[in-house]
């Protein structure tokens, strides 16, 4: 078991930190929201008054923050954590941010002799709570091996994607594809329903055929087809449209910097942005089906 400093206790970070506590790690947490810290304290974690305090005595630092500017603010500069840590600490940033910032933080960590990995996740809130997340890691091979000590208690699929920033690139590719096949799944189900097919029966047909995909298999977007899917609970909770828009923006940055004209990704981005602007930002991203039913 390890001493872990955990920074960022939002919808994803909170359950992840709880799983580390449940696994027997000594976890010290920090978040700007007192209620989030109180919930972790009740679960068995200790609470720090700052990021620096959370890092004191830690063998691992795990962060789950909203954007690249927050990650850079925590780790870089004279007051950043990298200036306070030594080579015995392994830093794992599980935020979904731009690859450029991950590479910048990774380079600064390497210069200080500190092991750093960008390790964004896939699976959503349910997987975070269940400890079944997928981690896509970017960094050195030896850091990846050390990271498994804590990552294995928060997820079940842990991948070494490549050097610093590779985790963010893998996440961008994955979530762009997720957006595209969710849109296609919604269109197919609504098309069938308008022609008299039972969406549940059509889902079974496509799951046994070449249209099979993750959205159909574990996250059906049609209400009533899958009891535990957000669609059957008024499209909440889940992976918010706001977050999908954010992730598609990051994916477009990767595509643009790579010289790729990803037409499907851009179309998905436009559709989700329109759905967000219509006031659906806090709903699960599968709620895009509602736009087809108007």
> Which residues have a catalytic role annotated?
171
- What sign does the CA torsion over 215, 269, 100, 57 have? negative
Q: Which long-range contacts (CB under 8 A, 24 or more apart) does 268-275 make?
A: 268/176, 268/179, 268/180, 268/183, 269/179, 269/245, 271/183, 272/179, 272/241, 272/244, 272/245, 272/248, 273/245, 275/241
Q: What is the helix (H) or strand (E) element at residue 116, kind and residue range?
A: strand 115-118
Both tokens of 91, joined, read: 């830093």
Compute φ and ψ for 4, nearest 5 degrees: -125, 130
Is residue 268 exposed (0-12), middle (13-18) or buried (19+ Cβ within 10 Å)?
buried
- CA–CA–CA angle 254, 260, 264 (5° rounding): 90
Among the listed residues 97, 96, 137, 145, the one whose alpha carbon sits nearest the alpha carbon of residue 117: 137
| Helices 99-111, 166-194: inter-axial angle, 10-degree rounding | 160
């Amino acid at each position: 078991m390890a001493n872990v400093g955990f920074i960022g206790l939002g919808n994803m970070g909170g359950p992840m930190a709880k799983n580390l506590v449940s696994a027997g790690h000594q976890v010290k947490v920090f978040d700007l929201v007192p209620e989030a810290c109180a919930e972790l304290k009740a679960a068995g974690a200790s609470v720090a008054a700052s990021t620096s305090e959370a890092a004191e005595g830690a063998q691992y630092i795990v962060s789950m923050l909203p954007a690249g500017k927050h990650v850079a603010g925590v780790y870089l500069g004279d007051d950043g954590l990298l200036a306070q840590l030594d080579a015995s600490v392994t830093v794992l940033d599980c935020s979904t941010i731009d690859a450029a910032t991950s590479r910048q933080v990774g380079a600064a960590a390497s210069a200080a002799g500190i092991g750093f990995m960008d390790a964004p996740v896939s699976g959503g809130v349910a997987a975070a709570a269940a400890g079944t997340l997928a981690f896509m890691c970017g960094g050195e091979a030896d850091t990846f091996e050390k990271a498994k000590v804590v990552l294995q208690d928060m997820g079940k699929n842990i991948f070494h994607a490549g050097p610093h920033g590779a985790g963010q690139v893998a996440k961008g590719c994955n979530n762009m594809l997720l957006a595209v096949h969710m849109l296609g799944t919604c269109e197919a189900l609504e098309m069938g329903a308008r022609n008299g097919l039972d969406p549940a029966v059509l889902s079974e047909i496509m799951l046994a055929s070449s249209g099979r995909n993750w959205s159909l298999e574990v996250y059906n977007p049609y209400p009533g087809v899958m009891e535990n899917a957000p669609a059957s609970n008024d499209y909440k909770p889940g992976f918010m449209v706001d977050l999908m828009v954010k992730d598609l923006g990051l994916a477009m940055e990767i595509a643009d910097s790579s010289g790729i004209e990803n037409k499907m990704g851009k179309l998905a981005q436009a559709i989700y942005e329109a759905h967000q602007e219509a006031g659906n930002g806090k709903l699960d991203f599968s709620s895009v089906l509602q736009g087809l039913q108007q």
